[in-house]
Amino acid sequence: MRRSRHLEILALLVSGITVGCTARSHSLAQHPEPQQVRCEPVNGRQGRLGCWVLASIAVSAPAGEPLYWHVYEFSSPADADRARDRQSTVMRAYGRTWLLAMAGPGWTANGGRRVATVGPLQLLSSAPHTASFMEATFTPGMRSQVHTHPGPEAWVVLEGEQCLETPEGNIRVKTGESMMVRGGIPMALYGTGRSIRRALVVILHPTGERTGMPHTEWQPTGSCLTG
């Protein structure tokens, strides 16, 4: 009889442990641990979760001239290539063809569908700059590493939602919207909402320098996921 009672208690304990693990797993599914995503050369990983550098161009605007990111969609790479000039480049992302330009506010493409014009983007120095273009795919709860850029960054969100946390506050955007942030400020970018977030990204950086650097002096509060 005593042995039977011990077995019952053990069974209850095991049941409690199992329930506890299930509850914790459910909690993690709702608020997963941040994944330290950073933007890297694509190296055959296009289409996977993360941030992948797909193209770049030299920024040729005169010193002091405001720069804008012009995003056009074309029906085919051949059509986009015919519209390309020295201020633009053609990129394939998410199965679609894009003509991306860094130019003054009045720049327009010869054809295609204008998706967004984002700016003005202010450079931090007069050194020659490069515009690096990327695709970035996050699931809800995914987070970039905490980092800074030596120049401005901008996004055009094609699907889903995202939230950028900086010491100056949060910026949230969703499908069809765009946003930008100045260079030199620490930041953490989150995928938010209920579905996968897909976005086009540009980072302006001095030619020959990295697009971003890890930052350790500031840590995000996670308010993008709780606010």
Is the separation of the CB atoms in 144 and 36 below 8 Å? yes
Q: Which residues contact 20 (CB under 8 A, 6 or more apart)?
A: none
Q: Would the pLDDT of 93 be above 80?
A: yes
Residues 102 and 213 in one domain: yes
Residues 20 and 41 in one domain: no
Mean predicted confidence (pLDDT) in 30-55: 73
Helix (H, G, I), strand (E, B) or coil at 23: helix
Residues 91 and 137 in one domain: yes
Residues 22 and 66 in one domain: no
Helix (H, G, I), strand (E, B) or coil at 29: helix
Q: Which domain holds residue 10?
A: 1-30
Residues 35 and 22 in one domain: no
Residues 105 and 133 in one domain: yes
Residues 129 and 148 in one domain: yes
Instruction: Select from 190, 183, 144 the least CA-distant residue to 164.
Output: 190
Residues 91 and 173 in one domain: yes
Residues 47 and 73 in one domain: yes
pLDDT band at 13 (very low <50, low <70, confident <90, very high): very low
Q: Would the pLDDT of 19 be above 50?
A: no
**CA atoms of 161 and 158, how far apart (whole Å):** 9
pTM over the 0.75 mark: yes
**Judging by beta carbons within 10 Å of its beta carbon (0-12, 13-18, 19+), is residue 206 exposed, middle or buried?**
middle
> 158-194: per-residue pLDDT in tens?
999 999 999 999 999 999 999 999 999 999 999 999 9
